Structure 1
């Protein structure tokens, strides 16, 4: 799964952006069942790149257990 969201803001503009990703339903054996999640968020302010937020998750490389995101 991959996705890209681009923001273009002019002078004085503001944006609040959030992305939510859940690990799946444990009772249905979906816990981190995806192979890869890739997401990009470039934000341009007055035509210039001011923020670039990349995300790459590959659960097969993790030692999954409770609290994985606390490390």
Structure 2
């Protein structure tokens, strides 16, 4: 499929199968997890930068995979 350029981070989530985080930019550090869950087809995040607390995300019903983080 072709690359789709979106104007906002929220627009990029709409209809996406999952979210893969590969940056530590500040504007991605405090998202609305409710909005994320609603926008994603499957509420799953693969976090390569370990931005979020797995316990917090679990409360929103989002499947979360911290890449490289030791299991608690």
Bigger strand fraction: 1
Q: TM-score, length-normalised on structure 2?
A: 0.29
Q: Larger Rg: 1 or 2?
A: 1
Q: TM-score, length-normalised on structure 1?
A: 0.29
Flag the structure with more relative contact order, 1 or 2, with Cα contacts below 8 A and sequence separation at least 6. Answer: 1
